[in-house]
């Protein structure tokens, strides 16, 4: 359902409405089509997508030296999936998940803390995210995965079910690894379910340069990042209602 509200589909639906209006209300149709085109163009600008993501992310990265009391484990949340990966024998972790796993593996090496991966099946018939993450961590990053939470389908379920898994092993305080722009919502869910989580964000987006030419050149990458920001704002609004 949230896909209907995210670019580029939301912009295309708006344009479609403008086309339907054309014969009966041409002046309104022109306005709707102009808004749709302008929205799509703006959301495709690196300047806009950069500011949208930066509005979501915390200001600072984790400072291990200032961590008190110490954490007992590292919890890393799944992101996306690469469904067609014949070189890996089937579905595997997508780029967002790998970015989170890279940082989680680094933290595990630096701290010696055990890892827990959270994520259920990305779609019916696929293995859980957590199992894909286990393979990537152990075979590609050389780090053992101690625990898995392989049932969740949302951020809320990630934290609720991970709390159950970790509590069974006496774990109450964790370093929580996810993208910087996803971290505020993930932390809120950790608090909601009574999990003591310390933010360990990764994938920070840099401040776009107002006077850099590349900031004003539309790109598919910028449109995708704008969609991430919309997804996150929609998720925050939905969780606030629930």
pLDDT at res. 208: 84
Q: Are 74 and 114 in contact (CB under 8 A)?
A: yes
Ordered structural domains, the chain, with CATH: 2-55+215-241 (no CATH), 64-202 (3.40.50.620)
Is the pLDDT at 1 greater than 70, yes or no? no
pTM of the model: 0.93
Confidence of residue 59 (pLDDT cuts 50, 70, 90): low
Confidence of residue 210 (pLDDT cuts 50, 70, 90): confident
pLDDT at res. 233: 92
pLDDT at res. 123: 92
Q: Are 135 and 127 in contact (CB under 8 A)?
A: no
CA-to-CA distance for 210 and 222, rounded, in angstroms? 15
Question: 221: buried, middle or exposed (CB in 10 Å: 19+, 13-18, 0-12)?
Answer: exposed
Is the pLDDT at 81 greater than 80, yes or no? yes
- CA 126 to each of CA 106, 119, 145, 150, 182: distance values in angstroms, whole numbers, following the listed order: 28, 12, 20, 11, 24
Rounded average pLDDT over 167-187:
96
Of all residues in the chain, the percent with pLDDT exceeding 70 is 99
Q: Which long-range contacts (CB under 8 A, 24 or more apart) does 179-182 make?
A: 179/57, 179/79, 179/96, 179/99, 179/100, 179/203, 180/53, 180/56, 180/57, 180/58, 180/204, 180/205, 181/53, 181/54, 181/56, 181/57, 181/205, 181/228, 181/229, 181/232, 182/56, 182/77, 182/155, 182/232
Judged by average pLDDT, the poorest of 36-40, 123-127, 162-166, 173-177 is 123-127
Q: What is the mean pLDDT of the chain?
A: 94
Strands 147-149, 115-118: pairing kind: parallel
Residue 126: what are its φ and ψ, rounded to 5°? Answer: -100, 155
pLDDT at res. 66: 84
Confidence of residue 193 (pLDDT cuts 50, 70, 90): very high
CA-to-CA distance for 211 and 109, rounded, in angstroms? 40
Rounded average pLDDT over 167-180:
97
Is the pLDDT at 211 greater than 90, yes or no? no
pLDDT at res. 5: 82
Rounded average pLDDT over 77-85:
95
How many Cβ atoms sit within 10 Å of the Cβ of residue 53?
Answer: 23
Confidence of residue 65 (pLDDT cuts 50, 70, 90): confident
CA-to-CA distance for 94 and 80, rounded, in angstroms? 5
Is the pLDDT at 219 greater than 90, yes or no? yes
Q: Are 101 and 137 in contact (CB under 8 A)?
A: yes
Q: Which long-range contacts (CB under 8 A, 24 or more apart) does 64-68 make?
A: 64/107, 64/110, 64/111, 67/198
Maximum alpha-carbon separation in the chain? 67
Map residue 144 onto helix, strand or coil: coil
Q: Respond yes or no on whether the N-terminal peptide bond of residue 8 is cis (omega within 30° of 0).
A: yes
């Amino acid at each position: 359902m949230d896909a209907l509200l995210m670019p580029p589909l939301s912009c295309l639906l708006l344009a479609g409405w403008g086309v339907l209006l054309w014969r009966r209300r041409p002046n309104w149709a022109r306005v709707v089509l102009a808004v749709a085109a302008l929205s799509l163009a703006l959301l495709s600008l690196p300047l806009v997508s950069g500011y949208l993501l930066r509005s979501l992310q915390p200001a600072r990265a984790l400072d291990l030296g200032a961590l008190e009391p110490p954490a007992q484990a590292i919890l890393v949340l799944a992101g996306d999936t690469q469904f067609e990966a014949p070189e890996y024998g089937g579905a595997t972790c997508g780029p967002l998940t790998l970015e989170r796993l890279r940082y989680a593996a680094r933290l595990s090496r630096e701290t010696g803390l055990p890892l827990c991966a959270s994520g259920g099946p990305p779609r019916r018939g696929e293995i859980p995210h957590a199992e894909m993450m286990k393979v990537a961590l152990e075979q590609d990053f050389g780090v053992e995965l101690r625990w898995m939470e392989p049932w969740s389908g949302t951020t809320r379920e990630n934290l609720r079910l991970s709390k159950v898994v970790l509590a069974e092993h006496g774990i109450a305080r964790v370093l929580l690894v996810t993208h910087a722009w996803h971290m505020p919502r993930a932390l809120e869910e950790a608090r909601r379910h009574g999990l003591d989580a310390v933010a360990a964000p990764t994938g920070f987006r840099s401040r776009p340069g107002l006077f850099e030419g590349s900031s004003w050149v539309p790109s598919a990458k910028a449109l995708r990042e704008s969609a991430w920001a919309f997804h996150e704002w929609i998720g925050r609004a939905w969780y606030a209602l629930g």
